[in-house]
Structure 1
Amino acid sequence: MLYEIQLPQLVDGHLPVAVIALLLGVLACSWLLRKSEPAASEGTLLIPKSVYSRLPLVGHLVGYARNGHSYFSSLCASTPLPIFTIRMAKVKLSVVKPALTRDLPQTKHLSLAPLVLELFKRSLDLGEFSSYLLREDDEQSKRFAPEISRLFRDEFIPNRNLRKYVEELDAYIQRDVALIHDAKSIHIEDWIFKTLVGALGKSMWGGDDGPFGDAEFVAQLRTFLLNIQRLNNPATFMIEPKLLESRRVVRERLDQFSFEKYAEKAGSSESVDESFLARVRTLCLDHGAAAEGWTDYQLLLIAGLGPNVMAASTWMIHHLLADPNLLAAAREQLDNFVRKSEGSIDLADMSEKCPLLIATWNEVLRFHGGFTLGRYVHEDTTLAGTYLLKKGSYALAPLKPHHFDKQLWGDDVEDFRPHGFLKEGGGLDEIQKRKLRVYGLFGALCPGRFLAVHMTMAVTVRLLLAFDIAPLKDGTNHAPPEECKETIAGLATPAWDAEIGLRRREIIEDVEIRFRSSR
């Protein structure tokens, strides 16, 4: 079995045994939990109407198991209401359609951490200390979320920090590109994961001497992260042993790293570690977490930083390969940029000098940004001053209905067309870019959004400068893979990997990539 492939393993159109077992397991409790249709209003507020599946009790679970986040989008398309409620086992979900999403930032008592706990507790094997912090049952843990958000913004948004990361990450990326100069081919997703996630991990986890400097650790991490949904199965005995082993290896290596970095140096006279990772650890401990639970937070950090940028970068290469004209035009802009830069290109100038690559990035986010954003409802609250969201439920906002709205994007929304983000003269259209919703809907935008685009541009530029890339078989048109339906959060990953051919290019050998934006 290829554990890195996430596409649900359907046999003759039927659900996998693990999913059947899960559905049967919740059948009894679903029967007890299901209630009659709620009243149309509570006081002056409207209660979102419940939408039931044709398959009683477990229909929404089956739909989600088969179709992933697309299931929520399908419900939006078939339901005329601006907001409606569904129940999946014991969880009550209020699904918010685009017409109401502009009111989400003003909605009180919504929190991300408990949703993160719901999504990742089983798959990451989170312990009691991290669960306490994410559950936000007391004032101390509730203060953690805004402070960790502030820490992330302070780290990943200022240009001075972005410059540092661009230089560090590109050094690792450039080295990995050099290692494949004699290769005839690479597997796209595998190479990008090892290169990008590996570079980010080395930058934060001790360089080549840390866990990300170990190729076996990175390989096990890839298997682990690409199978999060399977590891979420409550019936542990039904999870493939190789997946459990990958999780064990990753956790043990992070445990070892933490011990070597922190425990052995406790009480020593060495200077205080002021790295980003150390500051995250200190913040966790200050808010009631325990040192022995630090591996949980490292896993959450890795799961939040790595898979999205890896998926977006992989889709970039797939779509460039699928459209030879796009690839040729984007490469021409890049080559001209390099030739006129005297050996040093500034990523801050990519929007002006290489608008097609930036437009392709934006189109990747639109075209594959069909996931669902959500929050936990801590207290009864109101949406748009009209709808009542009950305590203990979740508010979900599927992005696909927005990103595939023909009134916003045109009649060809089902096609991948980067030129939609360009003006008539070829420059970037900032108005179109502002229509994207992948960076957030609930008020706070993703603090890593700037680092993500610079990482993707760095790895794409390095690959295109070093090689001509093409489908492995000459004359074969490349078709991007289907999206994996088992992605829990964020951009969907490709459902399978693809091998591409490489041919060494004669171009400027030693190009410096930097970031010197004055903004």
Structure 2
Amino acid sequence: MLSEILEVIGPMPVILGILLFLVAAVKHSSLFSQSSKPGRFTPVAEARQLPHSIPSKIPYVGHMMGYVRDGHSYFSSLCGKTSQPVFTICMAKVKLSLVKPELARDLPKVRHLSLGPLVLQLFRRSLNLGEFSCSLLKEEDEMSRKFAPEISRLFREEFIPNRNLRKYVEEIDVYVHREIMALEGLQTIHLEDWIFKTLVGALGKSLWGGDDGPFGAPEFVAHLRMFLMNMKQLNAPATFMIDKKLLASRSFVRERLEHFSFEKYTEKCEAGTGAIEETFLGRVQALCLEHGAAAEGWTDYQLLLIAGLSPNVMAASTWMFHHLLADPELMTQVRDEVGDCVKKSNGSIDLADMSDSCPLLSATWLEVLRFHGGFSLGRYVHEDTDLASKYLLKKGSYVLAPLRPHHFDRQSWGFAVDEFIPGRFLKANGTLDEIQRRKLRVYGVFGTLCPGRYLAVHMAMALTVRLLLAFHMAPLNASYVPPGESKDTVAGLATPEFDVEVSITKRETSYDGLKIRFKSSRQTF
């Protein structure tokens, strides 16, 4: 996840990027140097050993250049080339400790790790964050350090309880269903563009005021996709290195969010109820203010929320259909399974019960997460700490856990790890294999799991079920192969290298009256 270190290279010649990066690195390292006071007793440092350091072929910048070339795969490749369970690489003056699967169980026990400074470095340039939000994410004081666990608690309380999920599932499905119905009469769609508009638009309407909010405007969603899908270029160190269209899209989105926030503020003041409303966004805003943020930075926090909630579910859903299109037999089997489930339940389907009622569909989703879950998860070390009671992690460094070694390990997944095989998540009797499911690491390895994971899978399942039952889909290219993964992904699941156009035909069997429900009391994803 430490793309922030490298994004400064941008689209211009590497040398220019490196020079600009070194300036930032020296400034950043000066902050780290203030962490150790002379004479301070540090028993951890004396008792633990530093992870083995792997030098680069080109001193100082070699690892940077490797990442620029290969993306997150570069970190995974390094893991395969060393027998050490944890090792350190240096990108200029920034140190990264890469942790292999052997020590993954020890990561939740590591103290003094935080996410805020990493989030700041990932998104500061690309989202054009202001000084107020940057100050909060730096976590340089006790108040701001308490923000991360509090915001995590707020997300868990909002997106995990069934009563809240039921509300979101029903709201989002209304918007998804409407987009499905709007496809009638069309002959083709651009897959990624349509899924982004449908899923991200539905989620945004649910959180940001429905059709009357910013996500109700197609132009807003189009500009949002433009700049979210090009975060790496927006991380360039100088404005002249960025396409003016991207800058215009980012400005458009920010202005619309600011305008929406101002309108809400005005409405509350006129109603005499104050500026903070009793909604999820209102509670997020109140928490930000409580921990030292300023009201002027609210647009920044909204953008961070959008960037955190939207891209992964969109990417995973897009890959889902890429693999179904590439395997017509699998698509037919999944569609038949879903259709039988709907018939048995009198025209409805319970999303919370998908692992039992539609195991092949669920297995295909899990294989998407495994196959494309090759990114890295990371944390910032804000105090000297230890890993596995043996290794010292120094203050000011980063801990990185590449996920590809987890998801492509032959001992865990079999010899065909490089093939897309949903059946690896199924038992011999066709039911979902819970043991295999638990091997996935896409939801987290540092002790806290992604609080939005349940909402994400239910959104994806609702979209997949409705689209499969409503339309026949086929690639325009008869010998269809899914696109490769983009190397430009900043964080999370890689997006496809390019969008594809597919043909759609209305199916004779009508499922227009399909009811998407969420009734079961248990959840399995």
TM-score grouping bracket, smaller chain normalisation: over 0.9
Q: Which runs of 5+ in 1 are unaligned?
A: 1-7, 9-13, 34-40
Distance 1:18 1:160, change over 3 A: farther
Distance in 2 separating the partners of 1:90 and 1:22: 15
Distance in 2 separating the partners of 1:201 and 1:264: 20
Distance in 1 separating the partners of 2:512 and 2:402: 44
Q: What are the superposed Cα offsets for residues 2-41 of structure 1, whole Å, 9 maximum, x if unpaired?
A: xxxxxx9xxxxx99525442124346887998xxxxxxx9
Q: Show the 5 A alignment for 1:127-166.
A: 127-166=130-169
Q: Could you tell me which residue of structure 1 aligns to residue 20 of structure 2?
A: 25
Distance in 2 separating the partners of 1:162 and 1:264: 28
Distance 1:229 1:28, change over 3 A: closer
Q: Could you tell me which residue of structure 2 aligns to residue 304 of structure 1?
A: 308
Distance in 2 separating the partners of 1:276 and 1:15: 36
Q: Could you tell me which residue of structure 2 aligns to residue 395 of structure 1?
A: 399
Q: Show the 5 A alignment for 1:11-410.
A: 16-26=11-21, 43-263=46-266, 265-266=268-269, 268-270=271-273, 273-410=277-414
Give the secondary-structure state (helix, strand or coil) at the position aligned to 1:115. Answer: helix
TM-score, with structure 2 as normaliser: 0.92
Of 421, 431, 450, which aligns to 2:435?
A: 431
Deviation at 1:52, TM superposition (A): 1.4
Give the secondary-structure state (helix, strand or coil) at the position aligned to 1:274. Answer: coil
Could you tell which deviates more after superposition, 429-438 or 41-50? 41-50
Of 497, 500, 517, which aligns to 2:499?
A: 497
Give the secondary-structure state (helix, strand or coil) at the position aligned to 2:124. Answer: helix
Q: Show the 5 A alignment for 1:458-477.
A: 458-473=462-477, 476-477=478-479
Give the secondary-structure state (helix, strand or coil) at the position aligned to 1:244. Answer: helix
Contact 1:469–1:501, Cα closer than 8 Å, also in 2: yes
Distance in 1 separating the partners of 2:134 and 2:243: 25
Query: Aligned partner of 2:417: which letter?
Result: V
Distance in 1 separating the partners of 2:167 and 2:132: 33
Distance in 2 separating the partners of 1:274 and 1:79: 52
Could you tell which deviates more after superposition, 170-179 or 75-84? 75-84
Q: Could you tell me which residue of structure 2 aligns to residue 4 of structure 1?
A: none
Distance in 2 separating the partners of 1:301 and 1:64: 27
Distance in 2 separating the partners of 1:31 and 1:215: 43
Give the secondary-structure state (helix, strand or coil) at the position aligned to 1:65. Answer: helix
Give the secondary-structure state (helix, strand or coil) at the position aligned to 2:125. Answer: helix
Deviation at 1:267, TM superposition (A): 6.7
Distance in 2 separating the partners of 1:261 and 1:228: 29
Distance in 2 separating the partners of 1:503 and 1:29: 53
Contact 2:200–2:310, Cα closer than 8 Å, also in 1: yes
Distance in 1 separating the partners of 2:438 and 2:491: 22
Give the secondary-structure state (helix, strand or coil) at the position aligned to 2:374. Answer: coil
Query: Aligned partner of 1:378: which letter?
Result: H
Distance in 1 separating the partners of 2:51 and 2:328: 48
Deviation at 1:273, TM superposition (A): 2.1
Query: Aligned partner of 1:21: which letter?
Result: L
Could you tell which deviates more after superposition, 497-506 or 17-26? 17-26
Distance 1:208 1:91, change over 3 A: same
Contact 2:159–2:451, Cα closer than 8 Å, also in 1: yes
Deviation at 1:93, TM superposition (A): 0.7
CA RMSD, 1 decimal? 2.0
Q: Could you tell me which residue of structure 2 aligns to residue 38 of structure 1?
A: none
Distance in 1 separating the partners of 2:252 and 2:45: 51
Contact 1:371–1:399, Cα closer than 8 Å, also in 2: yes
Give the secondary-structure state (helix, strand or coil) at the position aligned to 2:282. Answer: helix
Q: What are the superposed Cα offsets for residues 99-157 of structure 1, whole Å, 9 maximum, x if unpaired?
A: 11110000000001111001111111111111111111111111111110000000000
Give the secondary-structure state (helix, strand or coil) at the position aligned to 2:315. Answer: helix
Contact 2:190–2:502, Cα closer than 8 Å, also in 1: yes
Distance in 2 separating the partners of 1:31 and 1:175: 52
Q: Could you tell me which residue of structure 1 aligns to residue 39 of structure 2?
A: none
Distance in 2 separating the partners of 1:277 and 1:16: 35
Q: What are the superposed Cα offsets for residues 311-358 of structure 1, whole Å, 9 maximum, x if unpaired?
A: 000000000111111111111101111122212211122111211110
Distance 1:399 1:143, change over 3 A: same
Give the secondary-structure state (helix, strand or coil) at the position aligned to 1:46. Answer: coil
Deviation at 1:89, TM superposition (A): 2.7
Distance 1:58 1:31, change over 3 A: farther
Distance in 2 separating the partners of 1:195 and 1:352: 26
Q: What are the superposed Cα offsets for residues 265-320 of structure 1, whole Å, 9 maximum, x if unpaired?
A: 33742486211111101110111111110000000000000000000000000001
Distance in 2 separating the partners of 1:511 and 1:318: 24
Q: What are the superposed Cα offsets for residues 346-395 of structure 1, whole Å, 9 maximum, x if unpaired?
A: 11221112111100110011000000000000100000000000001000
Deviation at 1:477, TM superposition (A): 2.4
Give the secondary-structure state (helix, strand or coil) at the position aligned to 1:122. Answer: coil
Distance in 2 separating the partners of 1:351 and 1:24: 51
Q: What are the superposed Cα offsets for residues 435-487 of structure 1, whole Å, 9 maximum, x if unpaired?
A: 000000000100001111100000001100110111124xx122111101111
Give the secondary-structure state (helix, strand or coil) at the position aligned to 2:310. Answer: helix
TM-score, with structure 1 as normaliser: 0.93
Contact 2:45–2:384, Cα closer than 8 Å, also in 1: no
Contact 2:25–2:94, Cα closer than 8 Å, also in 1: no
Deviation at 1:60, TM superposition (A): 1.0
Q: Could you tell me which residue of structure 2 aligns to residue 37 of structure 1?
A: none
Contact 1:18–1:233, Cα closer than 8 Å, also in 2: no
Q: Could you tell me which residue of structure 1 aligns to residue 35 of structure 2?
A: none
Q: Could you tell me which residue of structure 2 aligns to residue 11 of structure 1?
A: none
Contact 1:27–1:58, Cα closer than 8 Å, also in 2: no
